[in-house]
Amino acid sequence: MDLVNFDVQPPHLYPPYKSTILRSPTRPLLPVRELIKDLSVPVFGESVLQQFDNDLTKNARVNGEPIGERIKVAGRVLDEAGRPQPNVLLEIWQANAAGRYVHRSEVHDAPLDPNFLGGGRVLTDREGRYSFYTIKPGAYPWGNHHNAWRPNHIHFSVLGHQLAHRLVTQMYFPGDPLFEFDPIYQSVPAHARELLVAKFRMDWTDPEFALAYEFNIVLGGRHQILFE
Partner 1 sequence: MERLRQTPSQTVGPFFAYSLTAQQYGYPYDSIVHHALLGPATPGEHIYITGRVLDGQGAPVPDAVVELWQANAQGQYRTAPINPRDDDGSEFTGFGRVGTGTQAGAVFRFETIKPGAIGPGQAPHINVTLFMRGSLHGLRTRLYFEDEAAANGQDELLNAVPSERRATLLARCVAGGGLPGYHLDIHLQGAEETVFFDV
The catalytic site residues sit at 101, 140, 150, 153, 155
Is 126 one of the binding residues for partner 1 (CB under 8 A)?
Answer: no
Under a CB-based contact definition with an 8 Å cutoff, are residues 214 and 198 in contact?
yes
Q: Within 143-182, which residues bind partner 1 (CB under 8 A)?
A: 155, 157, 163-164, 166-170
219 vs 228: CA distance, rounded Å: 14
Residues forming a β-bridge with 206: 210
Q: CA 64 from chain center: how many Å?
A: 27
Taking the complex as a whole, how short is the minimal distance between the CB of residue 207 and partner 1, in angstroms?
30
Specify the stretch interacting with partner 1 by CB under 8 A; choose among 66-74, 114-122, 124-132, 200-208. Answer: 114-122
Is 90 one of the binding residues for partner 1 (CB under 8 A)?
Answer: no
Question: Which one of residues 15, 41, 65, 111 is an interface residue with partner 1 (CB under 8 A)?
Answer: 41
Q: Give whichever of 18 and 58 is closer to partner 1, judged by the CB atom.
A: 18
Specify the stretch interacting with partner 1 by CB under 8 A; choose among 66-74, 75-83, 127-135, 199-207. Answer: 75-83
Computed from CA positions of residues 65, 67, 69, 71, in that sequence, does the dihedral angle turn out positive or negative?
negative
Question: Which one of residues 72, 93, 130, 133 is an interface residue with partner 1 (CB under 8 A)?
Answer: 93
136 CB-near residues (< 8 Å, 6+ apart): 68, 69, 70, 71, 97, 152, 173
Alpha-carbon distances, residue 46 vs 51, 67, 90, 134 (angstroms): 11, 29, 13, 21
Is 184 one of the binding residues for partner 1 (CB under 8 A)?
Answer: yes
Is 44 one of the binding residues for partner 1 (CB under 8 A)?
Answer: yes
Give the pairing type, strands 199-200 and 167-172.
unpaired
Question: Which one of residues 16, 31, 111, 174 is an interface residue with partner 1 (CB under 8 A)?
Answer: 31
